Amino acid sequence: MKIYMSIFVFLMDYKNFNNIFSKNDHFILPGKKTHRMLSPSSRKIIRNKNKPKKASVLIFCYPKNDKMHLILIKRSNFIGFHSGEISFPGGKLDVGDRTLEQTALREFREELGVQLVSKKDSIKFTPLYIPLSNFMVFPFFTYENFTPKFFPEPNEVAELIEFPISELLRSKIKVRKLFNGTSKSIEVPCFKFKNHLIWGATAMILNEFKFYLAFRSTN
């Protein structure tokens, strides 16, 4: 399936954004195809012999200064996987979570201090396996008509990144060299926003969301 994006990106305010999602047209998620576009060449899909752990993340959009944004976070530095990386709010499934969507909402509250409620029209995007940490990540999308006041948990969140949707739609895939903790560097496809490089699983999920949004806004 080939998707054509309009070179014209209109002002993505809440009204336009909400109109996009009030449409009843059906769109089959491109999933792995859009994931592969942002997959580092060094990424090896080698399944751990253990069953993957489950986690979920939340793609959350909201209006700010008359434009729709989505929230990303830069994780705090800690010992373990994904330290200091840019990601969506989210985390692993807990025993008390009834659903993976509830996991995403709970983690969002714990990391950013904002309580959101489950919606019947929330969208589940294509799950993505992360070989490094052996997690299967389930992305969920929702949006609100208000500008939230975030209270980031400092032990988990080093920085908030408020990414305008119009900027995302204009973003082109770039390739940059990153150091992987050794003297060797790796080339990774990524999105660039201000001084941030968004790559890996976050960029792969973001790319599917970008294609989905572009389709809905041009049809």
Length of the chain as a residue count: 219
Q: What is the mean pLDDT of residues 29-40?
A: 89
Give 98's pLDDT tier (boundaries 50, 70, 90): very high
Q: Taking the C-alpha atoms of 166, 168, 170 and 174 in order, what is their torsion angle to the nearest 10 degrees?
A: 160
- 33's enclosing H/E stretch is helix 32-37
d(CA 135, CA 156): 18
d(CA 79, CA 96): 26
A 10 A CB-CB count for 216 gives: 16
Catalogue the E-assigned strands of the chain.
53-64, 67-75, 86-87, 90-92, 123-124, 128-130, 135-143, 157-164, 174-179, 185-193, 196-199
Tokens of 113: 């201090």
d(CA 112, CA 99): 20
DSSP character at residue 14: H
Q: What is the mean pLDDT of residues 67-89?
A: 82
A 10 A CB-CB count for 145 gives: 10
Say what the pLDDT of residue 115 is.
94
d(CA 119, CA 48): 34
Q: What is the pLDDT of residues 140-169, one digit of tens each?
A: 999 999 999 999 999 999 999 999 999 999
d(CA 173, CA 199): 10
Give 3's pLDDT tier (boundaries 50, 70, 90): very low
Q: What is the pLDDT of residues 121-146, one digit of tens each?
A: 688 999 999 888 889 999 999 999 99
Q: Please report the domains of the chain, with CATH numbers, ordered by start residue.
A: 14-198+209-218 (3.90.79.10)
Say what the pLDDT of residue 1 is.
40
What is the value of pTM for the model shown? Answer: 0.89
Say what the pLDDT of residue 2 is.
43
Residues forming beta bridges with residue 150, ordered by sequence position: none
| SS3 call for 198 | strand
